[in-house]
Amino acid sequence: MRIGVLIHARDIRFSRRERWLLHFILAAARERGHSVEILQGLGSHPPLDVLIPHVDLTVRPPEYHRFLVRYDRVLNRGVRDISKRALGGRVLSAGEDFNGPVILKADLNFGGRPELQIIPGRRLRSELMLRLRGLPFARRWTEAMFWRWTPCLSSRDYRIYASVREVPPQAFHNPNLVVQPFEPEEQEGLYALRKWTFLGNAETCSRSLSPEPIVKASNRIPGRGEAVPVPEELREFRRQLGMDFGKIDFLVRGGRPIVLDVNPTPSVSTEGGMRGATRRAPLFAEALERWTTHANEAADRRSCH
């Protein structure tokens, strides 16, 4: 099987180090006898059995989306926009009648940091905002400018407020930020985060616990993770999104799943994560074979009609 991976022409991170889950899957696919070709940009159009877009941006550029038409079998073909606004979660406006805590975070995937690497001028603007915010004088003014103009927001800068009224008003005018209801999943005084990782019909789903309200790999409690089932509502969400490969972060509150983040280019950030990725990679590589076979069979049925 000939596997192609499409990355952005200005992507310099994909080949630097094995931090992407896809790297582990491709290694397992090579061990199974498959070939892998990396397409950096849109300059080549080699024959492939399956193409995997790995364009690490929140919104897939139109020219990259049009490129996919050249191939019959494409993972995540329909996943074009994974911004918080596009995913359908509730986004609050200034002065909205909402009672309860809220969270201020980035609209873009991974805080908008991939865009700093790829979109010209964006890194300069981000650095300018950070320097402005760090000035020792006029702190109220510099904070206001930061919330109004910052192009990205690291998860360490996410803020939880007791109400909408406490959110800096400038943040509501920044299209790179969103204010959403803060509805945590709690267990025994801890906060939970669930992660569903999948490729085709292969999947893992786990729940981590943390004393911090914003659960991250760096603050999870070791040894408290556990496998959990995937809610059927979330499976339906994935079907509607047209997502074949990636990761969905979510929580369950009041018996219903709440999607926090969707990522078709999942990364591996810890040593434990790397061990888990190595262990799961052969299962995902086998699932890729099945997905491609089923896609071929579906194409044959369509051609018969």
Residue 268 lies in a domain: no
pLDDT band at residue 223 using 50, 70 and 90 as cut-offs: confident
pLDDT band at residue 299 using 50, 70 and 90 as cut-offs: low
Residue 147 lies in a domain: yes
One domain for residues 62 and 105: no
What's the DSSP call for residue 59? B
Provide the 3-class DSSP secondary structure of residue 259: strand
What's the DSSP call for residue 231? P
Q: Are 111 and 152 in contact (CB under 8 A)?
A: yes
Segment of 79-88, 114-123, 132-141, 290-299 carrying the highest mean pLDDT: 79-88
Residue 232 lies in a domain: yes
Q: How many domains does the chain have?
A: 2
**What distance in Å separates the CA atoms of residue 252 and residue 186, rounded to the nearest whole number?**
9
**Residue 305: predicted pLDDT:** 55
pLDDT at 83 over 70: yes
Provide mean pLDDT across the span 120-125.
83
pLDDT at 247 over 90: yes
Residue 270 lies in a domain: no
Average pLDDT, the chain: 91
- The single residue listed with the structure tokens 């397992």 is 28
What contacts 54, CB < 8 A, 6 or more positions away? 5, 6, 7, 14, 20, 22, 264, 265
One domain for residues 245 and 281: no
One domain for residues 121 and 26: no
One domain for residues 8 and 114: no
One domain for residues 17 and 152: no
Nearest Cα residue to 118 out of 222, 279, 10: 10
Residue 8 lies in a domain: yes
CATH number at residue 16: 3.40.50
pLDDT at 195 over 90: yes
One domain for residues 172 and 148: yes
**Residue 270: predicted pLDDT:** 76
One domain for residues 102 and 64: no
One domain for residues 53 and 123: no
Whether the model pTM is above 0.85: yes
Residue 271 lies in a domain: no
Residue 154, phi then psi, degrees to nearest 5:
-65, 155
**What distance in Å separates the CA atoms of residue 36 and residue 27, rounded to the nearest whole number?**
9
Residue 202 lies in a domain: yes
Element (H, E) at 192: strand 190-199
The pLDDT > 90 percentage for the chain reads 70
Domain boundaries, position 225: 83-263
**Residue 133: predicted pLDDT:** 77
pLDDT at 77 over 80: yes
